Amino acid sequence: MIEFRNLTKVFHLRGQRKVVADNINVVFPTGKAVGLLGRNGAGKSTLLKMIAGTMDATEGQIISDGSISWPVGFAGSFHGELTGAQNARFIARIYGVDTDELVDFVRDFAGLGGHFDLPFRTYSAGMKSRLAFGVSMAVPFDTYLVDEVTSVGDASFRAKSAEVFNARMEHASAVVVSHGMGQIKQLCDAGAVLNEGVLTYYEDVEEAIAVHQQNMKSI
């Protein structure tokens, strides 16, 4: 469960006031994969960062009764001079996961071959995302935060990513940001639309998509 209590987030840029969250009071139930929808610039990634705890709200709070992942696929915290394997071991120790099991899972899943034992700074953007997704899926969280990550890689890797993600969803919740409505339908069973600072939750993901698409037409 993730509960937004009087959540407000305001940015001040060049004399302009941008409201991303306007006193939001919404609950995402336990066991749901929620597709977070909204126009470009609506604040979806900002909301994910606040859920993850990497960005503070202006007012209000976000409360959860379980563990929440970093945004799945986020590679910004990996150390450039460490190898992929060493970074994976470091993450395993932080989260108290069996080190060898996590490394073996990531080695097999990410499909980086010999690059897994080379410094992270030598990786391409796609390789970094594959490593980050593998590490994210290897750590058991109660809620996974996903931001466009399953669009990384070729069709085979995307299919493998969706398969692993769906397996995790048998025992976890998720908040998913994607511009692909097909992907939202595939991964999510509920939806939430962020529009002009207002967040509305829908039990039916199809209804959320319909509202979002109507909002897009009114631009």
pLDDT at 90 over 70: yes
pTM of the model: 0.86
Arithmetic mean of pLDDT over the chain = 91
pLDDT of 73 reads 67
pLDDT of 157 reads 82
What the block records as the tokens of 51 is 């859920």
Domains, the chain, in order of start with CATH, read 1-67+144-155+172-219 (3.40.50.300)
Distance between CA atoms of residues 137 and 131, nearest Å = 10
Q: Once rounded to an integer, what is the mean pLDDT over residues 13-34?
A: 94
Q: How many CB atoms lie within 10 A of CB 218?
A: 7
pLDDT at 163 over 90: no
Burial-class residue 217 by CB neighbours within 10 Å (0-12, 13-18, 19+). Answer: exposed
3-state DSSP percent of the chain in helix, strand and coil, to 5: 40, 30, 30
Residue pLDDT, tens place only, 27-77:
999 999 999 999 999 999 999 999 999 899 999 999 999 999 988 767 677
Residues in the chain: 219
104: pLDDT confidence band, cut at 50, 70 and 90? very high
Residue pLDDT, tens place only, 75-85:
677 999 999 99
Which stretch, 40-54, 146-160, 193-207, has highest mean pLDDT? 193-207
Q: Once rounded to an integer, what is the mean pLDDT over residues 176-191?
A: 89
